[in-house]
Structure 1
Amino acid sequence: MGESIGVAARLRKPSWKDPRLLIGLLLVLGSVAGVIALVGTADRTTQVFAAREDIAIGQVVTEADLSIVKVRLDDVEAGYITVEQGLAESSVALQRMAKNQLIPRASLGVADALDRKPVAIALEEELPPQAVPGARVDVWVSMPGASSAFDAPEMLLPSAEIAAVTPGSTTLGSARTTVVMVLVTDEQMPKLLGAQANRAKVSVVWNPTGVVR
């Protein structure tokens, strides 16, 4: 008889007040909530702009120059330009951006915010392969002397950054010309423009360290 009562107690339908049932429900609910939170976190991506091609300093940037990518930025989202926020009109690149690079908010602004401006230097000499956009070069000039010779070269712009390189074409009877756009501050600008106006011989030397000497 006692054994039958024990079996019946074990087979009795559990009550909602049964601690074991409540603990089990809490464990299930906790597991489900954890999965939902994990899925929600994994899917928390943001649409942001990225450079479709290399963007040079001073270049006017429109949405045609950009592509849209979905990335997870979390706490650093405020530092990048999202598609939801949009691109401001007349945006100008304040720093160089490489192809496929996300667009930092600080990299775009107005033209008046540029502290360096690109100046074209036409060169007939061959550039080293390392002289690419973003690389640093020293710009040397040799002013015309009293005779047909030039004075000794002097460094005019130490560690100037290259904004762009445009291979030129060869015309009949002339050497091949390459145009290098270097970034020049307003303080340095008169020296370079003056040298070019006086037909100085300008040379560009790759500066592998980027150090101003």
Structure 2
Amino acid sequence: MSRDLGIPGASRSAPSTATSPPPGSPAGSPPGARAAPPPATRAARPGWRDPRLWLGVAIVAASVVAGSRVLASADDTVAVWVVGQDAAAGTQLEAGDLQSRRVRFADDADLARYVPVEETLPAELVLTRGVGAGELLPRAAIGSAEESDRAVLRIAVPEEQVPAAVGAGAVVDVYLLDESGEPAEGGQDAAADPGEPVLAEVGVLEAPGPGEAFSGTGNRTLDVAVTEEQARAWFEARGRVVAPVVAVVQVG
């Protein structure tokens, strides 16, 4: 409805009370109605052909390989056998005589000189030469009982004629004296000087400690490893002396 304002040709229109639908509302929607939200779309999972999947697999694989190489380079040591205490040639080693130690070797040739823990040892392992305490077990120093050329010779020595430090693994010279205290003639070499030992540089396999003499004789009994030639020389020298006195000198 319009009202005359007294001005020719002019009139004021009454304000309209009709409301317009909100923007985006579908045509024909009643006034004041909200627009419907767009339909939700579900994200599709990447398929096996998706290059992102293969890129992730490649990254994980490269990480595993790199980690393995780092760990391998960090510990390139090898476990080998070590002799726990001094052992003379002819000693039969047992499991308790050996210890495991990890060692880094310069090359395979250096490793081949020693016995790794993973290697099976002979049932009767005998040393063909003396080995010191803490020394790596050399492959060249071991053999079986059948391969050993050593025999065990037991000698009784007056306790005062044996250094207190002599024990298993020691290397000694054995002298044979007559009643006068002079060296008996005839050692390992028939032409040897009488002052030379009858048994030179033989290894002690077993020896009681000082004060542990047997049978109240005042003697210490030593088991030494000798060759057949040394054993023969010992008994020949003993046969030439009426009342022999044995003396021992530790040399190693």
- Structures share fold, TM-score greater than 0.5: yes
Structure 1: gaps of 5 or more residues: 1-32, 144-148
- How far the C-alpha of 1:130 sits from its partner, in A, is 5.5
Name the counterpart of 2:228.
Answer: 186
Give me the CA root mean square deviation: 3.5
| Alignment map for 1:60-209 (pairs within 5 Å) | 60-75=92-107, 76-126=110-160, 127-129=162-164, 131-133=166-168, 135-143=170-178, 149=179, 152-154=182-184, 155-157=196-198, 159-164=200-205, 165-167=207-209, 169-170=212-213, 174-196=216-238, 200-207=244-251
Confirm or deny: 8 A CA contact 2:174 2:199 kept in the other structure: yes
Find the aligned partners of 1:171 and 1:86 in 2 and give their Cα distance: 39
Residues 45-93 of structure 1: CA distance to partner in whole angstroms, max 9, x if unpaired? 1111122344343233233432222221232110111122221222212
Confirm or deny: 8 A CA contact 2:214 2:220 kept in the other structure: no
Letter in 1 for 2:219: T
**Structure 1 residues 160 and 181 mapped into 2: Cα distance closer, same or farther (>3 Å)?**
farther
- How far the C-alpha of 1:129 sits from its partner, in A, is 4.5
Instruction: Please give the TM-score of this superposition, normalised by the length of structure 1.
Output: 0.62
- How far the C-alpha of 1:38 sits from its partner, in A, is 7.3
Give % identity.
29
Name the counterpart of 2:42.
Answer: none
3-state SS in 2 of match to 1:50? strand
Name the counterpart of 1:48.
Answer: 80
Confirm or deny: 8 A CA contact 2:198 2:237 kept in the other structure: no
Name the counterpart of 2:89.
Answer: 57
| Alignment map for 1:21-32 (pairs within 5 Å) | none
**Structure 1 residues 63 and 169 mapped into 2: Cα distance closer, same or farther (>3 Å)?**
closer
3-state SS in 2 of match to 1:95? coil
- The size of the alignment, in residue pairs, is 171
Find the aligned partners of 1:195 and 1:140 in 2 and give their Cα distance: 10
3-state SS in 2 of match to 1:83? coil
**Structure 1 residues 162 and 91 mapped into 2: Cα distance closer, same or farther (>3 Å)?**
closer
3-state SS in 2 of match to 1:101? coil
Find the aligned partners of 1:118 and 1:72 in 2 and give their Cα distance: 37
Find the aligned partners of 1:135 and 1:42 in 2 and give their Cα distance: 39
**Structure 1 residues 50 and 201 mapped into 2: Cα distance closer, same or farther (>3 Å)?**
same
